[in-house]
Amino acid sequence: MFLLKLIVRNAFRHKLRSTLTVLGIAVAILAFGLLRTLIGAWYLGVEASAANRLVTRNAISLVFSLPLSYKDRIKQVDGVEKVSIGNWFGGIYIDRKNFFPNFAVEPESYLELYPEFVIPPQQKSAFVRDRRGAVAGANLAERFGWQVGDQITLQGTIFPGDWDLVLRGIYRGLRPNTDQTQFFFHWDYLNETMKKTAPRRADQVGFYMIGLSHPDQAAEASAAIDALFKNSLAETLTETEKAFQLSFVAMSGAIITAIRIVSIVVIVIIMVVAANTMAMTARERIAEYATLKTLGFGAHHIAGAVFGESMLIALSGGALGLLLTYPAAAEIGRMLAQFIPVFRVPPETVWLDLAAAVTVGFVAGIFPTWRGATINIAEGLRRIG
């Protein structure tokens, strides 16, 4: 109990120095946590991927389409339970800055493959029945103030023209990491329009979403699907949804690596600052440590007091930084909602923050602890006065 009181009193004896050190550690932990959260948000699509979903696209590139006729042949592959079709639409709402992912999909089969998109039954029925119906994620609807029944016009880029749609449903995510910023409408509406305006582009699919009866069949089913269309005019590349999402993340691999490096550098910098503070404290208290030894305190008592002080300061800063991370992440998520669908602090980041704080306290306390525990009584007493 005495040792604990000594640790607390020593830690905050120099109030200004201790406060600044705690705030410095808090800011470092806050920055570290936000950077790690950003990395986690980058991998959101990967984490949300289902193990029993495959994506089939053109083997050359996603920008090249596939014939609609492939659908029936894919259905015959062993292990394939459901097949849906879709196109990346790339439409603009009012202004180019209003970016959000929008797709033309086959409503019923697509929603069956994505049970994490929760839509009220009445809204789902209205969407399926209305050829010009559309569904938007809750975050997207909130961003633009959309309500069910609103008229929404998208300006086509890949598919030119103004596309008039009616919002028939708003979906919410079944899980916290579900993307609630997507917008999708009927593929039939897109295809019928193409038949009138650009017949060569009709009956073409951007990608096939495939549901398997069991995740273990992914490798065999992928190989079987690609074998069906080998040496055809439009060969396919089939991969798990996770691998498909990772291919997009890989495009920004250098950025992610840079963010990781910066997050580590932040911790190293504050580690050096904290170590310097603790070393300064140890030098000032050499005489005190010698006095404690003359009173019968052992080296382990002094080591515990010094090391405990370092850990207390580091953990205080870490706790403060961790508490600030949540409101900061919420505000950043609101500001970046257009680019990052979900910006939330995952449990892994909390543990990394705590580990970083412990590491700072441990490293900063090593030398002062050794110095205090090994100080010679005579040498220390010479510093009195």
Which band of pLDDT confidence, cut at 50, 70 and 90, is reported for residue 207? very high
Place of tokens 């990052």: 340
- Relative to beta strand 161-173, strand 133-137 is parallel
199 within some domain: yes
49 within some domain: no
pLDDT of residue 315: 87
- In this predicted structure, the answer to whether residue 112 has a pLDDT above a threshold of 80 is yes
Length of the chain measured in residues: 385
Whether residues 97 and 210 fall in one domain: yes
pLDDT of residue 65: 92
pLDDT of residue 25: 87
Which range (43-47, 258-262, 322-326, 355-359) has the least confidence?
A: 43-47
Q: What is the mean pLDDT of residues 183-208?
A: 93
pLDDT of residue 358: 87
- Relative to beta strand 183-186, strand 102-105 is parallel
Greatest CA separation found in the chain? 98
H-run or E-run covering 209: strand 207-212
Distance CA 359, CA 272 (A): 11
Whether residues 151 and 292 fall in one domain: no
- Count of domains forming the chain: 2
Distance CA 138, CA 54 (A): 26
pTM of the model: 0.71
pLDDT of residue 264: 86
Token pair listed for 1? 């109990």
Which band of pLDDT confidence, cut at 50, 70 and 90, is reported for residue 253? low
Dihedral, 40, 88, 244, 346 alpha carbons, nearest 10: 20
* Residue 130 structural domain: 60-234
pLDDT of residue 293: 67
- In this predicted structure, the answer to whether residue 385 has a pLDDT above a threshold of 60 is no
247 within some domain: no
Q: What is the mean pLDDT of residues 264-280?
A: 80
pLDDT of residue 205: 95
Average pLDDT of the residues of the chain: 84
What is the per-residue DSSP string for 120-175? -HHHHHHHHH-TTEEEEEHHHHHHHT--TT-EEEEEETTTTEEEEEEEEEEEEESS
Dihedral, 352, 353, 356, 357 alpha carbons, nearest 10: -150
- How many other CB atoms are found less than 10 A from the CB of residue 385? 5
Between 58 and 273, where is the model more confident?
58
- How many other CB atoms are found less than 10 A from the CB of residue 143? 16
273 within some domain: yes
Whether residues 74 and 201 fall in one domain: yes
292 within some domain: yes
Q: Output the CA–CA distances (angstroms, integers) from residue 221 to 49, 83, 360, in the order listed.
A: 17, 13, 49
219 within some domain: yes
